[in-house]
A and B are shown apart, each in its own frame.
Chain A
Amino acid sequence: MKKTADVIIIGGGIVGCASAYYLAKAGVKDIIVLEASRSIGHGGSSRNGGGVRQSGRDVRELPIAMCAVQKFWPSLSDELGVDTEYTRQGNIRMGKTEAHLRKLDTLTTNCRNMGLDVRMIDRKEVHAINPYLSDQVIGASFCPTDGHANPLTTTLGYYIRALEKGVRFYTNARVMALEKVRGQVRKVRMEDGAVLEADTILLAAGYASRKIMNTVGLEVPMHDEIDCCLVTEMEPKMFPQMLGCADADFYGHQTRHGSFVFGAVAGPEMLMDEDTDKVNFAHAATLGASCRAIEGYVPLLKNAKIVRSWTGWCDCTSDGVCVLGRPEETPGLVLACGFNGHGFGTAPAVGYMMAQTILGEQTLVDLSPLRYERFQEMIG
Chain B
Amino acid sequence: MFDIQEKLKEIGPYVPESDDDLLVCRCEEVTKGEIRRAVHEGITTIEEMRRFLRCGMGLCQGQTCGMLTRRLVARELRVPQSEMDVATSRAPMRPVAMETGGRDLGVEKPAAGGDAE
Interface size on A, residues (CB 8 A): 48
CB atoms of B101 and A291 under 8 A apart:
yes
B107 → chain A closest CB, angstroms: 12
A149-176 interface (Cβ within 8 A of B): 152-153, 155-156, 159-160, 163, 166, 168-173
A217 → chain B closest CB, angstroms: 27
A83 → chain B closest CB, angstroms: 11
- Whether, in the assembled complex, B13 has its beta carbon less than 8 Å from a beta carbon of chain A, the answer is no
Contact with A along B83-110 (1 / 0, CB 8 A): 0010010111001111101111100000
- Whether, in the assembled complex, B31 has its beta carbon less than 8 Å from a beta carbon of chain A, the answer is no
Partner of B61, one of A163, A288, A307: A307
A79 → chain B closest CB, angstroms: 16
A294–B99 CA distance with the chains assembled, in angstroms = 10
CB atoms of A306 and B102 under 8 A apart:
no
Q: Which of B51, B95, B105 has the most C-beta atoms of chain A within 10 angstroms of its own C-beta?
A: B51
A152–B49 CA distance with the chains assembled, in angstroms = 10
Partner of B2, one of A46, A152, A173, A309: A173
- Whether, in the assembled complex, A192 has its beta carbon less than 8 Å from a beta carbon of chain B, the answer is yes
Q: Which residue of B lies closest to A285 (CB)?
A: B104
- Whether, in the assembled complex, B17 has its beta carbon less than 8 Å from a beta carbon of chain A, the answer is no
- Whether, in the assembled complex, A376 has its beta carbon less than 8 Å from a beta carbon of chain B, the answer is no
- Whether, in the assembled complex, A42 has its beta carbon less than 8 Å from a beta carbon of chain B, the answer is yes
Chain A residue contacts of B5, Cβ below 8 A? 163, 166, 168-169
CB atoms of A257 and B54 under 8 A apart:
yes
CB atoms of A41 and B48 under 8 A apart:
yes
Stretch at the interface among B18-26, B38-46, B67-75: B38-46
Chain B interface, DSSP helix/strand/loop, else mixed? loop
- Whether, in the assembled complex, A308 has its beta carbon less than 8 Å from a beta carbon of chain B, the answer is yes
Interface size on B, residues (CB 8 A): 37
- Whether, in the assembled complex, B4 has its beta carbon less than 8 Å from a beta carbon of chain A, the answer is yes
CB atoms of B59 and A233 under 8 A apart:
yes
CB atoms of B61 and A232 under 8 A apart:
no
B30 → chain A closest CB, angstroms: 12
CB atoms of B95 and A233 under 8 A apart:
yes
CB atoms of A302 and B97 under 8 A apart:
yes
A307–B56 CA distance with the chains assembled, in angstroms = 11
B11 → chain A closest CB, angstroms: 14
CB atoms of B1 and A1 under 8 A apart:
yes
Contact with B along A261-301 (1 / 0, CB 8 A): 00000000000000000000000110111111011000001
A160–B44 CA distance with the chains assembled, in angstroms = 11
Chain B residue contacts of A71, Cβ below 8 A? none
- Whether, in the assembled complex, A128 has its beta carbon less than 8 Å from a beta carbon of chain B, the answer is no
Chain A residue contacts of B41, Cβ below 8 A? 160, 163
CB atoms of A170 and B1 under 8 A apart:
yes
CB atoms of B91 and A168 under 8 A apart:
no
Q: Which residue of B lies closest to A156 (CB)?
A: B52
CB atoms of A38 and B2 under 8 A apart:
yes
Q: A152-B51, A310-B90 are in contact. Are A291 and B102 (CB under 8 A)?
A: yes
Chain A residue contacts of B8, Cβ below 8 A? 163
CB atoms of B59 and A288 under 8 A apart:
no
A sample of 11 more A-B contacts (CB under 8 A), given A155-B51, A169-B4, is A1-B6, A46-B51, A163-B5, A166-B5, A169-B5, A171-B45, A233-B59, A284-B104, A295-B99, A295-B102, A309-B90
Q: Ordered nearest first, which 6 A-B pairs have the shortest CB separation?
A: A291-B102, A288-B104, A152-B51, A305-B95, A291-B101, A302-B99
12 contacts between A and B (CB under 8 A): A39-B85, A41-B51, A46-B51, A155-B51, A160-B41, A160-B43, A233-B95, A288-B104, A291-B99, A291-B102, A305-B117, A310-B90
